[in-house]
Amino acid sequence: MLIGHSEGGLIALLAATKMEVENLVLLATPGRSIDDVVLEQIQRRTPLLYDEESNIFARLKQGKTTQLVDTNLWGLFRPSTQHYMMSLLRYSPSELIQSRISKTVIIQGARDIQTTPLDAEVLYAAASPSSQLLLIPNMNHMLVYCSSNPKDNLASYGDPNRPLHPELARKIKQLTKKLLVNQRFKSASDAT
């Protein structure tokens, strides 16, 4: 089983195209290109930066870096991260998932402000028929319980004491247990 969260989900999808991964679990993984996801976030939160961010993405798609980055966008586009961002821009999550024939479980929080339920739906629509979609109410991008209060959502990003959302913990436990049972059954069958 391979589990990937957020950008790690994109990396897990890419890994699953290079090697056999029987069970893939994607947690809050973008279903659209990274520029679409990030530009949507900026449009919602700081629309005044949208044009500048859009221009930076356009340069990165052309394989060009930039040193002129607004301080408000520095965390995302500082020069040391621009080549990483260029590498992410090369991949379409929905195209990567189409190449999988094995089971993929897509888990998304309904209160996620980074990747949205739309991303999970895009992935699920492109996934194999054996795949599964689980939308967890009151779970955010940090995979924890979150109320409808936006301040609570943002506060969870800096609170390491919040436990995993109970429904997510149950699902991961269920998947792991099922995988272990199947592995034991397969090992027993192989031995006979």
pLDDT range class, residue 73, cuts 50, 70, 90: very high
| 12 and 56 both lie in a single domain | no
| 176 and 127 both lie in a single domain | yes
pLDDT range class, residue 11, cuts 50, 70, 90: very high
Residues contacting residue 76 through CB under 8 Å, at least 6 positions apart: 38, 53, 85
Which of 7-21, 42-56, 133-147 tops mean pLDDT? Answer: 133-147
Of 19-33, 93-107, 136-150, 168-182, the least confident: 168-182
What pLDDT was estimated at residue 165? 97
Hey, what are 47's tokens?
């629309």
Q: What is the pLDDT of residues 114-138, one digit of tens each?
A: 999 999 999 999 999 989 999 999 9
| 128 and 172 both lie in a single domain | yes
Report the number of distinct structural domains present in the chain. 2
What pLDDT was estimated at residue 9? 95
Residues contacting residue 116 through CB under 8 Å, at least 6 positions apart: 40, 108
| 59 and 106 both lie in a single domain | no
What pLDDT was estimated at residue 186? 60
DSSP string over 112-146: -SSS-HHHHHHHHHHS-TT-EEEEETTB-TTSBB-
What pLDDT was estimated at residue 65? 95
Distance (Å, rounded) from C-alpha 123 to C-alpha 106? Answer: 8
Does residue 96 belong to any structural domain of this protein? no
Does residue 95 belong to any structural domain of this protein? no
| 70 and 113 both lie in a single domain | no
Of 75-84, 112-121, 140-149, 173-182, the least confident: 173-182
- Domain hosting 155: range is 2-31+101-191
Does residue 46 belong to any structural domain of this protein? yes
Per-residue pLDDT, averaged over 183-190, amounts to 60
What pLDDT was estimated at residue 184? 60
| 105 and 85 both lie in a single domain | no
| 107 and 179 both lie in a single domain | yes
CATH number for the domain spanning 129: value is 3.40.50.1820
pLDDT of 185 higher than 70:
no
pLDDT of 23 higher than 90:
no
Query: What average pLDDT does the structure give for the chain?
Result: 91
| 113 and 124 both lie in a single domain | yes
| 142 and 180 both lie in a single domain | yes
| 151 and 186 both lie in a single domain | yes
